[in-house]
Every structure is written in C-alpha cells, then in structure tokens.
Amino acid sequence: DMGRVAESLGYGAYVVGGFVRDLFLYRPNEDIDIVIEGDGIAFAKAYALEFGTRIHTHKAFGTAVVIYPDGFKIDVATARLEYYRSPAALPDVEMSSIKLDLFRRDFTINTLAIQLIPDKFGRLLDFFSAQKDIKDKAIRVLHNLSFVEDPTRVFRALRFEQRFGFTIGKLTAALIDNAVKMDFFKRLSGRRVFTEIRLILEEDNPVPAIVRMGDFDLLKVIHPTIVINKALIALLEEVRGVIAWHDLLFVETPCMRWTVYLMGLIHANDMATCHEICRRLELATRYEALFCQERAAADHCLQQMEHRLPASAGALYHRLHPFRAELILYMMAATRVKAVKKAISKYYTELRKIEPLIGGNELIALGLTPGPLFRQILDAILDAKLNGALATREDEIQFARR
C-alpha cells in the first residue's frame, strides 16, 4: 500500500537499513524504515488520509512516523537530492537520491533497500556490495570519512560486530584506530557517548563488545583508569550469569541490565572518579546516586557480609532491604564468597517479599489504639516471620496480642 500511495504522488519508496539487513541474517526486526524519494511528509499525510493512521512529523528533518491503531510504527524519511549536495566524502558524480541516502549511512551491511513501488515491488537494491559483506561477515564503512562525519559509528561497529558474530574489516579497523588516536570522541557530548555505551551494555551479551572496546583502547571514553584484564572480564561474566539467573526466575521484574554492567566496569574506581565518570557521561542525578553513593554502600555492605554473615534471616533482610534490585545483582556478581552469594540469593528469592499478613485494621480490632506502637508491633511480626516463627494470619494475631 505504501508503494501505491508513493507512486500516486510520483515518488519512489523503499524499505531500507536494519530491517533489510536482518532479513538477510534471518534475524527478527520490527523496526521498519521507509525512504521516500520525494517529500516524505507529504507521503505520510497522504497515506494517513487514506488508511486512517495517526502521524507525527518533523518538518526540519523531513521525517514522519506512521502510527497504526495497534501501536505499530513505521519511520518515514525523505531522500532529497538538494539536501545531500556535495557531502565532504563524495566524489563529484551523479547519484540517484536513494543511492545518495544509502551512501551516507554507517556500514555497507546497512545499505540494502527494497523497492516498494508496485511494478518494481520487492526488487533489491545493493549499490555497495552489502550482500557480499554479509556473506563475508564483515563490518565495513562506505568511505574513509565515515567516522569523521559521525564518531558514534565506532561504537556501532563494535556492537554490530559482536551481535552478528562478524569481523570489522581491515581498513575499517585502521580508521577506528585513527579515530581513537585523534580522539574524535571529544567532539561528542557526554549524552551521545553514554547513549552508545548504553546500547552496547543492553545487547544480549555485551561482554565481547566491551572486550573489543578494550582492544581498541576505547574504554578511556568512560575513564582512562578502566582497563580490560582477567579480573574485570571475570566480573563482567559474573554479571552476565547473575542477570541470566534473574531473567529466568523473575521474567516480570524489570531490571536495568546496563546499570549492573556499568557498575561492574567502574567497580575498581573510587568515589571521586565515579562522580567524574557520571558527569562526563552527563548522567541524571538519580543514576549518579546509584553509581556512586548507593554502589559504595553496597560495596561496604558486601565487605561486612564477607567478614561475617548475618546471624539470622531477619538480620539478612534488614541488611539488604535498602538496596534496589540492580544493586543486589551487582553484589551477587561482585562477591567472591560463595556463602555470601547464596545468602543474597536467598534474600532475593525468599525473604524480599515477606511482609505481615495483618495490618493496622487487625490491630484496631484487637482493641489497640493507633500510634507508634503499631509500627513496632508490625516490625516485630515481620522479624518473627522472617525467622520462620509465624506462618498464618492467626499466628500473627496471637503474636500481636502478646
């Protein structure tokens, strides 16, 4: 339908980029990007009028998002010839606007396009030997200025390389080395660096890409003190194990995986350096608190528990209750003491959710007057429950009576 609407306006229409790449890699991808040769916004408006979808438009970029009633979204962009006149890297040749649009992209594997216009529907455009590079499992830039144009592509190269099990091509690797040597990243805002690092840390298994960052001496964009060694890799693998454990047992519990990996990465740094890192990455204050104060408290708590395990389930509960899930997972990964790891896991799986079955109303029913005493009684009930002394509601009421 999109092809037909585009054709009726005299435009070309293509599905491009990651979606087409993933078709060739047999990987699922729900992000559909359309490029219109013509006016992408006029196209989206015409399409919305005919099919009753909502749209969002960004005039300045010539882009639009088509939003279907079920929430599914399709991104629409404009390939305009004038807009692309003489980019720095471009030799003086004529190109169709779709070809130019694809030439401006990061890696050859992302330059495939499929025709959507009815009588050419389904035809594949491969101007830059993307199919060959997919077959060769190679990440290659299209031209030597790619990382100059956009240094964040360096991080994308590592992310794609590890996600697909590809290898960065020789020339591309040399261009990355050059980008690192010339420190192209100092031009980037902390936000943009952080966004890329976070995307890496949110991959299914970020560890190999982190190791690759180390190979390219890229971890210095986080902080010069961070170096890859056996101990750090072992810690990151522990984080991965703990996150896998958490995903399996608590499918429904959201967890910011990337924060646990980042805590692992900066684990050896002192408080001042951690603050410096957070400021460099322009993290929100709540994240800064998580990575600095809260993580330091977790490390401190871990030290104490490694020195001496809490004597009772109640004591264990009170030790760990202040910490959010991500810190609990960090602690499980960071400890080298098996018994401590087991205790933390017991807290997380068994103790964390325990609370009194009765509340203020039951205490009033027992003839007690609401006040600070209530808190004390309920706390005492909680402790007794944690230590296994109370099972039923009846037990709790008996206990409160005493």
For residue 332, CA distances in Å to 133, 160, 297, 304, 312 come to 41, 29, 14, 14, 19
Per CB under 6 A, contacts with ligand CTP among 25-54 are 31
CB 49 to ligand CTP: min, Å: 27
Rg of the chain in Å (alpha carbons): 28
- Identify which range of 57-65, 104-112, 131-139, 186-194 contacts ligand CTP by CB under 6 A: 104-112
DSSP state of 175: H
Residue 105 found at the interface with ligand CTP (CB under 6 A) = yes
Residue number with the smallest Cβ distance to ligand CTP: 18
CB 158 to ligand CTP: min, Å: 12
Q: What sections of 9-96 are H helices per DSSP?
A: 18-24, 40-51
Among residues 262, 261, 269, 213, the alpha carbon closest in space to that of 241 is found at 261
CB 133 to ligand CTP: min, Å: 13
Alpha-carbon distance 105 to 93, whole Å?
Answer: 17
- Identify which range of 47-55, 152-160, 165-173, 288-296 contacts ligand CTP by CB under 6 A: 152-160
- Identify which range of 129-137, 147-155, 208-216, 350-358 contacts ligand CTP by CB under 6 A: 147-155
- Are residues 35 and 16 in contact, defined by beta-carbon separation less than 8 angstroms? yes
CB 145 to ligand CTP: min, Å: 13
Alpha-carbon distance 147 to 219, whole Å?
Answer: 17
- Identify which range of 3-11, 113-121, 145-153, 307-315 contacts ligand CTP by CB under 6 A: 145-153
Q: Output 178 or 293, the one with its CB closest to ligand CTP.
A: 178
- Identify which range of 47-55, 102-110, 312-320, 344-352 contacts ligand CTP by CB under 6 A: 102-110
Which H or E run contains 167? strand 167-168
Place of tokens 């001042």: 272
Q: Binding ligand CTP by CB under 6 A: which of 9, 18, 233, 357?
A: 18
- First CA to last CA across the chain, in angstroms? 74
- Identify which range of 5-13, 151-159, 182-190, 270-278 contacts ligand CTP by CB under 6 A: 151-159
Alpha-carbon distance 140 to 129, whole Å?
Answer: 10
Residue 150 found at the interface with ligand CTP (CB under 6 A) = yes
CB 268 to ligand CTP: min, Å: 30
CA angle 232, 234, 240 (to 5 degrees): 105
For residue 151, CA distances in Å to 81, 154, 182, 189 come to 24, 6, 11, 11
Q: Output 152 or 205, the one with its CB closest to ligand CTP.
A: 152
Q: Output 111 or 259, the one with its CB closest to ligand CTP.
A: 111
Size of the site for ligand CTP (CB under 6 A): 10
Query: Where does residue 371 fall: left (phi above 0), alpha (psi -120 to 50 degrees), or beta otherwise?
Result: left
Tokens of 345: 């896991």
Alpha-carbon distance 339 to 239, whole Å?
Answer: 17
For residue 297, CA distances in Å to 267, 300, 301, 305 come to 12, 5, 6, 12
CB 161 to ligand CTP: min, Å: 12
Q: Output 137 or 321, the one with its CB closest to ligand CTP.
A: 137
Residue 153 found at the interface with ligand CTP (CB under 6 A) = yes
Residue 152 found at the interface with ligand CTP (CB under 6 A) = yes
Residue 110 found at the interface with ligand CTP (CB under 6 A) = yes
Residue 167 found at the interface with ligand CTP (CB under 6 A) = no
Q: Output 149 or 299, the one with its CB closest to ligand CTP.
A: 149
Alpha-carbon distance 292 to 13, whole Å?
Answer: 49
CB 229 to ligand CTP: min, Å: 29
SS3 state at 319 = helix
- Identify which range of 146-154, 176-184, 217-225, 266-274 contacts ligand CTP by CB under 6 A: 146-154
CB 18 to ligand CTP: min, Å: 2
For residue 201, CA distances in Å to 145, 220, 260, 344 come to 27, 16, 9, 24
Alpha-carbon distance 130 to 228, whole Å?
Answer: 33
Q: Binding ligand CTP by CB under 6 A: which of 37, 101, 106, 161?
A: 106
Residues that bind ligand CTP (CB under 6 A): 17-18, 31, 105-106, 110, 150, 152-153, 156
